[in-house]
Amino acid sequence: MINISKKLSVSTAPFLKDKDTTPKIMMTVVYTLIPIVLVSIFYFGLGALLVTLTAVLSCLFTEWLFNKPDNRLKSLKDGSGLITGLLLALTLPPGFPLWMVFIGGMIAIGMGKAMWGGLGQNVFNPALLGRAFLQSAFPTAITTWSPPDGRYFELRGTNAAFPFFQGKNIDTITSATPLAKMKFDHLPTDIMDLLLGATGGSLGETCAILLLFAGIYLLVKKIINWRIPLSIILTVTVFSGTFYLLNPEIYPSPVFMILSGGMLLGTVYMATDLVTSPLTPKGMWIFGIGIGILIVLIRNWGGLPEGVMYAILLMNAATPLINRFTKIRTYGHKK
């Protein structure tokens, strides 16, 4: 009657496990990114699609390349490479040369992750590291913005440039981003355009409203922690708002600050990257406030129109330190 001894499975407690798994968490993030990618294709057509596909393929390929044979399948399965690919694409202009996209993906995974020992060990957000590399290597291409004009089936800008060449821009008109207009000409952009995304910019930097929804969904699902996005947005509002009130002629309003450029993409998807942000509640506040201050500083007084990427990367670098100084007090120990 009792014959369980043969196939008995032996290990140590606990023998119950919560439902969440890392691949499930990662895939939820991927699902929230899909509408954002679709909207970018809606605005930028084939160019956006090709940039996205290239970035994803490059990231997955590099992931595969850098892992030991027995670990390859698992490293692809955890979904983190896919996320990096999608996020990298969303930070690039729709007319960006595809060969450069591919290099960006390799740098993102290779230098952003594999070099540190793989998932969980890296200090910088891989997608942003890839983008930072592209920005310094190809400063012109990465600031050539194609307008959202509904040319669905055409290549854009320098998409088709031959490897190692800049390529000739096939767009007849280019479009300045709202941030550049603000920075160099002090021209604001209509809030409605910012919300819906009918502006020039990177693939995922345009449709603010979708990013807000995605952020709220991830918060409700408890996949991202509320402290980091809230502290960034609060800091940017208060800090940039102060200058706006002092001189609305020169300084952008907080609403513009939050809805434009990479602010929301960075806040929702990159600053909240679990691996590269602090673990403790106090640390998260410090991290978010730091990012907020840096964004306003760079945007208002730096040489570049956009500062989100550098703000996050700088605070990524500070994260190990923040973790060290915000150790949680153990139960039964003194403060």
Binding residues for another protein, per CB under 8 A? 1-2, 4-5, 7-18, 20-25, 74, 78, 80, 118-121, 225, 274-275, 277, 279-280, 323, 327-333
Choose between 46 and 123: whose C-beta lies nearer to another protein: 123
In the complex, minimum distance from the CB of residue 104 to another protein, in angstroms, rounded to a whole number: 23
- Give the integer Cα–Cα distance in Å for 126 and 321: 19
Choose between 17 and 168: whose C-beta lies nearer to another protein: 17
| Interior/surface letters 263-301, b for 16+ CB within 10 angstroms, e for the rest | bbbbbbbbbbbebbbbebeebbbbbbbbbbbbbbebbbe
- Give the integer Cα–Cα distance in Å for 310 and 27: 27
Choose between 18 and 70: whose C-beta lies nearer to another protein: 18
| Interior/surface letters 306-327, b for 16+ CB within 10 angstroms, e for the rest | bbbbbbbbebbebbeebeeebe
Which residue is listed with tokens 């990465």? 142
In the complex, minimum distance from the CB of residue 133 to another protein, in angstroms, rounded to a whole number: 23
Choose between 12 and 247: whose C-beta lies nearer to another protein: 12
- Give the integer Cα–Cα distance in Å for 106 and 53: 14
Choose between 35 and 118: whose C-beta lies nearer to another protein: 118
Which residue is listed with tokens 């952003």? 112
In the complex, minimum distance from the CB of residue 130 to another protein, in angstroms, rounded to a whole number: 19
- Give the integer Cα–Cα distance in Å for 55 and 305: 24
- Give the integer Cα–Cα distance in Å for 213 and 34: 13
In the complex, minimum distance from the CB of residue 327 to another protein, in angstroms, rounded to a whole number: 7
Residues 118, 158 contacting (CB under 8 angstroms): no
In the complex, minimum distance from the CB of residue 305 to another protein, in angstroms, rounded to a whole number: 32
In the complex, minimum distance from the CB of residue 97 to another protein, in angstroms, rounded to a whole number: 32
In the complex, minimum distance from the CB of residue 32 to another protein, in angstroms, rounded to a whole number: 16
Radius of gyration of the chain (CA): 21
The two three-digit tokens of residue 73, written as one number: 């399948």
SS3 106: helix
**Angle (CA) 198 204 210, round 5°:** 70
Residues 299, 179 contacting (CB under 8 angstroms): yes
Q: Which residues lie below 8 Å from residue 261, measured CB to CB, with a gap of 6+?
A: 177, 178, 179, 201, 205, 299, 305, 306, 308
In the complex, minimum distance from the CB of residue 78 to another protein, in angstroms, rounded to a whole number: 5
In the complex, minimum distance from the CB of residue 188 to another protein, in angstroms, rounded to a whole number: 39
Choose between 212 and 223: whose C-beta lies nearer to another protein: 223
